[in-house]
Amino acid sequence: MSSDVRFTDFKSDKQPTWCPGCGDFGTMNGMMKALAETGNDPDNTFIVAGIGCSGKIGTYMHSYALHGVHGRALPVGIGVKMANPDLEVMVSGGDGDGYSIGAGHFIHAVRRNVDMSYVVMDNRIYGLTKGQASPTSREDFETSTSPDGPNQPPVNPKALALASGATFIAQSFSSNAQRHAEIVQKAVEHDGFGFVNVYSPCVTFNDVDTYDYFRDAIVDLDETDHDPSDRDQAKDKILESDKEYMGVLYQDEDSVPFEEREGVEGSMAEIPDGAPEGAMDLVREFY
């Protein structure tokens, strides 16, 4: 790992096909900065992405990466990290990918607390399939498949995470470059599952949750007296459904990652050339 890694080293030579102005540009830049700042380089980093506009991120970044199927990026990330804890693993996807089709995996990834980061680009819409309601869409948000609005309250992913035993919950806003990079960096540095919900506006299909909306609504937790180590404070903030916060909502400083608790010691890639030593004991057990 060289100290002279720059965040641009994490850029691939593929030009993003995101719409000009898409929030995902900022989100990705922050991810790259956070990785470089934490001393990683592309050869020790593994990015897993889901499906959606957001999921394309693995293509535009340069590292070891896997772009999987819709909603299943988290289990892939867990497998990578368990098999080689020396890798820096970052998983990314959209609100549809993570909280709809992948919701089951989300809560289990949270409670499993493997040491990796999960950055969700929350644009409150399905972008890639051209503008249908997502699980974070507002109740009255009109879309092609919900002309009168989804008519059901949005999920609160931070509350889901907290209820599932999260050890790190943060929220960020892609257009606030400096803060966003800082927040993702904290998630990367966290010993355990670092979850960041990023407001990452879709300029093409969402005319409600826009840059302007978020800019006005968002409150930076650093400018309040919020104490992220206090779970009750975090809970109160997370359940305030009319507020948009930016910063680390909750962090358990005593978090011990799953793989550490399970005693996974190093890479599982190295195996002997034949059956492992002592393998005949496996047979003798059956006497």
Partner 1 sequence: MPEDLNWAIGGEAGDGIDSTGKIFAQALSRAGRHVFTSKDFASRIRGGYTAYKVRTSVDRVESVVDRLDILIALTERTIHENEDELHEDSVIIYDGERSTMQDVEVPGDATALEVPLKRLAEDAGGAIMLNVVALGAACEVTGFPIENLDESLEKRFGDKGEAIVENNKEAARKGQHYVQEEYGEFDYDMETTDEDYVLLNGDEAIGMGAIAAGCRFYAGYPITPATDVMEYMTGRVDQFGGKVVQAEDELSAINMALGAARAGARAMTATSGPGIDLMTETFGLVATSETPLVICDVMRSGPSTGMPTKQEQGDLNMTLYGGHGEIPRFVVAPTTVSECFWKTVEAFNLAEKYQTPVFLVSDLAMAVTEQTFSPETFDMDEVEIDRGKVVDENDIDAWLDEKGRFQAHFAAADGVSPRAFPGTTDGAHMTTGLEHDELGRRTEDTDVRIEQVDKRQRKVETAREQEDFDYREFGDPDADTLVISWGSNEGALRESLTLLEEDGYDVRFLSVPYIFPRPDLSAEIEAAEDVIVVECNATGQFADVIEHDVLERVQRINKYNGVRFKADELATDIKETLDAPAEATQ
Ligand X SMILES: Cc1ncc(C[n+]2csc(CCOP(=O)(O)OP(=O)(O)O)c2C)c(N)n1
Residues that bind ligand X (CB under 6 A): 51-54, 70, 93-97, 121, 123, 125-129, 134, 202
75 binds, among ligand SF4, ligand X, partner 1, none (CB under 5 to 8 A by kind): partner 1
CA-to-CA distance for 227 and 79, rounded, in angstroms? 33
Q: Which does 203 bind (CB under 5 to 8 A by kind): ligand SF4, ligand X, partner 1, none?
A: ligand SF4
What's the rounded Cα separation, in Å, for the pair 233 and 72? 32
- Segment 187 to 226, residues that bind ligand SF4, using CB under 6 A: 202-205
Kindly state the smallest distance separating residue 61's Cβ from ligand SF4, in Å: 16
Q: How far apart are CA 27 and CA 49, in angstroms?
A: 13
Residue 147 or 272 having the CB closest to partner 1: 272
DSSP code of 206? -
CB of 109 to ligand X, least distance (A): 16
Q: Residue 265 binds what, of ligand X, partner 1, ligand SF4, none (CB under 5 to 8 Å, by partner type)?
A: partner 1
The two three-digit tokens of residue 212, written as one number? 């302007």
| Least CB distance to partner 1 at residue 46 (A) | 5
**Half-sphere exposure in the Cβ direction for 176 (13 Å, CA):** 20
Q: Which two tokens stand for residue 243?
A: 């507020």
Q: Is 278 left (phi over 0), alpha (psi -120 to 50) or beta?
A: left
Q: State the residues that interact with partner 1 by CB under 8 A.
A: 12-14, 42-46, 48, 56, 58-59, 62-69, 72, 74-84, 86-87, 104-105, 108, 259, 262-269, 271-276, 279-280, 282-284, 286-287
Residue 197 binding result from partner 1, ligand X, ligand SF4, none, given CB thresholds of 5 to 8 Å by partner type: none
Contacts of 52 (CB under 8 A, 6+ apart): 70, 93, 94, 96, 97, 126, 127, 128
The site for ligand SF4, by CB under 6 A, has a size of: 11
Decide which of ligand X, partner 1, ligand SF4, none touches 129; Cβ closer than 5 to 8 Å per partner kind: ligand X
Rg (CA), the chain: 20
134 binds, among ligand X, ligand SF4, partner 1, none (CB under 5 to 8 A by kind): ligand X
| 60 vs 126 by CB, closer to ligand X | 126
Question: How would DSSP label each residue in 39-86?
Answer: T--GGGEEEEE-SSTGGGHHHHB-SEEEE-STT-HHHHHHHHHHH-TT
